[in-house]
Structure 1
Amino acid sequence: MAQVDISPATALYRRARYAPAGIALVEEEQEITAAALADSVRRLARGLAEGGVRRGDRVAYLGLNSADFFRTMLAAHHLGAVYVPLNFRLAADEIRHILTDCGAHTLVAEEGHREIAESVLDETPVRRRVLAGTAAADGAAASWRALADLTASECSDRDPQPCGEDDLAVLMYTSGTTGRPKGVMLTHGNVWWNAVNVDGMVDTRPHDVNLAVAPLFHIGGLNALTLRALVRGGTVVVRRRFDAGRTLRDIARYRVDSLFAVPAMFADLSQHPDFATADLASLRACIVAGAAVPPRLIRVWADAHGVMLQQAWGMTETAPFATYLPAEHTLGKTGSAGIPMPFTDLCLKNPVTGEQVVTPMERGEICVRGANVTPGYWDDPAATAASFDSAGWFHSGDIGYLDEDGYLYVVDRLKEMIISGGENVYPAELERVLAEFPGVTEAAVVGVPDVRWGETVVAVITCAAGTPAPTVEQVREFAGRYLARYKLPTRVIVVDELPRNASGKLAKAPLRSLAAGD
């Protein structure tokens, strides 16, 4: 059987051919038709190819949400290259590591991120620098080529490279338990099958208006609903950053049908002075995921506007959704992450014995298998082997249970990851940096419940004799040189010694109690 081309670039070109006048993107009130977007993608693809990008090469992007984010991704896919969206909150050391680890050929960066990129680029394999946005790349940016110039050149005369299910589409870096980010490999099949799953469960429609306010470098912001809407015939209203007041106005003005956001965003919307009177009647596919969802938040939206926030569960490795709670069960199963997606298998396994849990309400590690699940981690066979068992199940590290009706509830994490405002924070990563703070002898990092962010990061440290205890401001200033700000502690507790268990390992339970003030 011939390979089916499932590249998003090919899907965009098909849309532009049969419905060229449809509005594909809205950026800062500028409407971009499908034909105009397709034309700019073809031009950029030619410019990238002339710069040496070939099939399989990695093209990285550093910047906020924008039309150029989509242009770069689709142009990379036109060439069969791999897209690497970078978290724009990362510190220079983290950017250096990712660009080096993935062997990035080209970096596309916005002017606001050029300086931090330039501070590390000479230590990476990046061979070409492209400056996104409308400003010309001149003066201090003389070593950069302007993306605007590339999209003004002639269109590519090459047909898009066909991409099948096993071809690598995206590398998304997520912090690892070893303290270094690791690249989650997502194939075109992973991306495509998530869309099939979403269409099979969520009330999405071909001409939906989707509001993209969650960061697009996150798999939820990009592939929960946004990419699907763009290539399927809908309109994506893309905003640089999330702003609660503007989001409420956008929903009313553009009659937004679909929206993905983390709980902290929905909480901010519900607390805005205009929430009670806002026109939110158009919202239909309204998905909340990325952190624990307070049941109260679900009720607030339902009571105030009749909007059913639909919970889902997944991660970057599942592209992103493995389960989803249909809107009709939002109130009856509040707190549940839903049922497995149509083409995704899910089971619970005893984290000690590895045996499958079959009894309702019994807890186990959530394991996933399906066409939307990553094949593994970039250039990291050890991490890949540790995440999959012999039967092909991906072990998520999350603990949950299934109720009598088969609905999933996520209750804890087997791993030590902290989720703060939808961002993943791994304690080992911050602990590694805090160990370098002058005078600190040991450091442990835990998450404690937080009404606004779900969890907040707390550092517990010990100091050398005679060393003054550092303030949280001093610790944040130091760690902020190496890590993104969302990973920094909001509190620092100094103790004489860290609690340990009988084997000498850190005992995190007493630390959490201490941090929570219990």
Structure 2
Amino acid sequence: MTTPHPANSGLNVDINPAAAVHRHALLRPDHVILRYDGGDLTYAELDDRAARLATVLAETGVGRGDRVAYLGLNSPSFLLTMLAAFRLGAIFVPVNFRLAGPELNSVLARSGAITLVCEQGHLAAADTAREGTALERLLLVDDDPAIPAEGDAPDGWDLWADLVAKASPSTALAARGFDDPAILMFTSGTTGLPKGVLLTHGNIWWNSVNVDTMIDTRRGDVTHAVAPIFHVGALNSFLMRTLVRGGTIVLRRSFDPARTLADFVEHGVNSTFMVPAMFAALARVPGAFEADLGQLRSIVVAGAPVPPSLIQQYADHGIILQQAWGLTETAPFATHLPAELTLAKLGSAGIAMPHTEVRVVDVQTNTPLEAGASGEIVVRGPNVTPGYWENPEATRAAFDDEGWFHSGDIGYLDEDGYLYIVDRLKDMIISGGENVYPAEVERALADLPGLIDVAVVGVPDIEWGEKVVAVVSLAPGAALTLEELRVHAEAKLARYKLPRALRIVTSVPRNASGKLDKLAIRAIAGQGE
């Protein structure tokens, strides 16, 4: 038997998304890849502008391995910056646009980014946070009608439109392999300073293979992107695949439920990723379930605990939400529940993706647990990050000796191998010596009439050690007492898990990724204690 030459093994194949966009620009230049309020873009236009921006970046020394950051909402400039960085073999750093002060400075400084592209609305925050960073070039987006620039560029900043227009398209198109770094994505930081998760081109590629294998995605699909794309769930679920496979992206800067519903109908959307709170808001739009959503076949809900009542509500109207589970570190999906099993396994986050291993282990001994026993969920596979950026201590803490990534999520596998998420290990409440998982309580309350959103946390208590507190927002005109809340939940929960206090707020704090902001929620829950 002849040993294959390494060049024929597939390991040297170029998987750079920028190369795929360039290929589409040559083959189908007039195909609209991006629909956006500020103007649509064809593949030829997207590729040409990314090539010109690559020239601008290269003029200030951006090359392989350098970091290029972007601060702003969903927009074409986000994608252009990412593609231009990929063309040069640089690492793209999408920044959470809700960060401010020390957190923003920490991300910019710790990433080592030498170039920052920024939208007008975030200019003041970026200007304040750039001190002590390695930033050498600051570009202000000034050609997006959705965010018009205001006057001349401040000191130290360059308006990018004229620079990009005058630059010659770069011929650089760095070949990228499986181990080459692609994206440096910082975690949300709601419980401390964000950690930098390094995702390789291979992580992104293998997640795409998993998605294409499990979910009904097709070449030419129309995908809707409204969840913040600085988050891996929104970026790497359908958007990145659509860029590579030749579909169309309907990109919205922020979420408006009525507009989202109209988009689904008008553009014949086939796929979308949203967090549970978005689907709950969409369901409250008048006529939502009477609209023609016949083209919508690939719908993933993830990014936060998913109430089974929400999935049942959509299923009752013939719309199947497919639950998935993962983290930034898994790029993002580790498990997925096939559409045909949504009701049979209601509440499950699904089975392991085809090229990913998932198991549940004892928190103390790290040994696998039997079916039905709750423990920490661990993941291993080519979609899992190689580690945290310049943080070997955090990397060592997250991976065991066999290469399993420890997620910090608590869950269990049923006898068929389907995963059920219980909660975050660090969010567990110990009340009267009993373990209470907030997500379980939140699910029990999710279908309470008049409830819009709910978060459950523990606060210190002299008698119980910690007591369970529910923080809720209600529909206009709705009212709720603690006793009514407890009565609703007691049919599903043991009494020690029932909330002992209730806080009603206008809106339950969530971060830009749709996850509960537990720091802010605990502050609300502790008021009056």
Give how far 1:153 is off.
Answer: 2.3
What amino acid sits opposite 1:493 in the alignment?
Answer: G
Query: What letter corresponds to residue 316 of structure 1 in structure 2?
Result: T
The structural deviation recorded for 1:150 is 3.0
Corresponding residue number in structure 2 for 1:388: 399
TM-score by length of 1: 0.82
Alignment gaps of 5+ in structure 1: 419-445, 463-471, 497-518
Number of residue pairs matched by the alignment: 450
Aligned pairs (5 A) from 1:35-434: 35-134=44-143, 135=148, 139=152, 141-175=154-188, 179-304=192-317, 306-357=318-369, 359-416=370-427
Give the secondary structure class of the aligned counterpart of 2:426. coil
Unaligned runs of 5+ in 2: 1-5, 430-437, 447-451, 463-502
C-alpha displacement of 1:202? 0.4
Residue 165 (structure 1) shift: 0.8
Partner residue in 1 for 2:480: none
Q: TM-score, normalised by structure 2?
A: 0.80
Aligned to 2:289, the other structure's residue is in SS state: coil
SS in structure 2 at match of 1:276: helix
Query: Which amino acid letter does the alignment assign opposite residue 39 of structure 1?
Result: D
2:53–2:81 Cα contact (<8 Å) kept: yes
Q: Residue 506 of structure 1 corresponds to which residue in structure 2?
A: none
TM superposition shift of 1:201: 0.5
**Alignment CA distance shift 1:217-1:8 (3 Å):** same
Letter in 2 for 1:488: A
Equivalent residue for 2:520, pick from 477, 485, 488? 488
Q: SS at the partner of 2:409?
A: strand
The one-character-per-residue Cα deviations of 1:364-383 (angstroms, maximum 9, x if unpaired) are 21111000000010010000
Look up the SS of the partner of 1:95 in the other structure. helix
Matched-pair contact (CA < 8 Å) for 2:54–2:170? no
Q: Which residue matches 2:17?
A: 8
1:461/1:494 contact within 8 Å kept: no
* Residue number in structure 2 paired with 1:507: none
Q: Per-residue deviation at 1:414?
A: 1.7
Deviation at 1:406, TM superposition (A): 1.2
Shift of 1:148: 1.5
Segment of structure 1 superposing worse, 214-223 or 24-33: 24-33
* Partner amino acid, structure 2, of 1:384: T
In 2, are the aligned partners of 1:258 and 1:285 still within 8 Å (CA)? yes
Residue 155 to residue 485, structure 1, CA distance change in 2 (3 Å): farther
Q: Deviation at 1:104?
A: 1.0
- In 2, Cα distance between the equivalents of 1:29 and 1:61? 18
- Cα distance in 2 between the residues matched to 1:286 and 1:390: 36
How far did residue 492 of structure 1 move?
4.4
Deviates more, 1:261-270 or 1:291-300: 291-300
Aligned residues of 1:42 and 1:75 also touching (Cα < 8 A): yes
Shifted more, 133-142 versus 266-275: the winner is: 133-142
Tell me, in whole angstroms, the C-alpha distance in 1 between the residues paired with 2:287 and 2:38.
Answer: 21
Q: Structure 1 118/417 Cα, relative in aligned 2: closer, same or farther at 3 Å? A: farther
Listed one character per residue, the Cα deviations across residues 244-287 of structure 1 (whole Å, up to 9, x for unaligned) are 00000000000000000000000000011131322211111000
Following TM superposition, by how much is the alpha carbon of 1:14 offset from its aligned partner in structure 2, in angstroms? 1.0
**Are 1:28 and 2:61 counterparts?**
no
**Deviation per residue, 1:394-429 (Å, 9 max, x gap):** 0111111111211111112223399xxxxxxxxxxx
Q: What residue number does 2:478 align with?
A: none
Distance 1:6 1:221 in 2: 20
TM superposition shift of 1:67: 0.6
The answer on whether the counterparts of 1:264 and 1:454 sit within 8 Å (CA) in structure 2 is no
- Name the CA shift for 1:153/1:388 in 2 (closer, same or farther; >3 Å): same
The more displaced of 205-214 and 273-282 is: 273-282
What is the one-letter code of the residue matched to 1:455?
A
Quote the Cα distance in structure 1 between the aligned partners of 2:453 and 2:282: 14
Per-residue CA deviation, residues 22-47 of structure 1 (Å, 9 max, x unaligned), is 11100117321111111111011111
1:39–1:272 Cα change, 3 Å: same
Matched ranges for 1:464-483 at <5 A: none
1:455 counterpart = 2:448: no
Taking structure 1 as reference, are residues 29 and 153 closer, same or farther at Cα in structure 2, changes over 3 Å only? Answer: closer
Instruction: State the one-letter code of the partner of 1:317.
Output: E
> Hey, what's the Cα distance between the residues in 2 that align with 1:253 and 1:495?
49
1:59 Cα offset (Å)? 0.6
**Alpha carbons of 1:407 and 1:454: their partners in 2 closer, same or farther (altered >3 Å)?**
farther
**Counterpart AA for 2:44:** A
Q: Secondary structure at the match of 2:58?
A: helix
**Shift in Å, 1:139:** 2.9
Amino acid at match of 2:268: R
Q: Deviations over 1:118-166 (max 9, x none)?
A: 1121332211100124156853524212222232123334331111111
The aligned residue for residue 421 of structure 1 is: none
User: Are the aligned partners of 1:98 and 1:181 in contact in 2 as well (CA < 8 Å)?
Assistant: yes
Query: AA paired with 1:337?
Result: A
Share of identical aligned residues, percent? 52
**Amino acid of the residue matched to residue 324 of structure 1?**
H
CA contact (8 A) 2:427 2:457 kept: no
Q: Is the 8 A contact 2:348 2:418 kept in 1?
A: yes
Provide closer, same or farther for how the CA distance between residues 494 and 286 of structure 1 changes in structure 2, counting only shifts above 3 A: closer
Q: 8 Å contact 1:89–1:485 — kept in the other structure?
A: no
With over 3 angstroms needed to count, the CA separation of the structure-2 counterparts of 1:88 and 1:458, relative to structure 1, is farther
CA distance, structure 2, for counterparts of residue 258 and residue 70 of structure 1:
19
- What letter matches 1:347 in structure 2? R
Counterpart code for 1:333: K
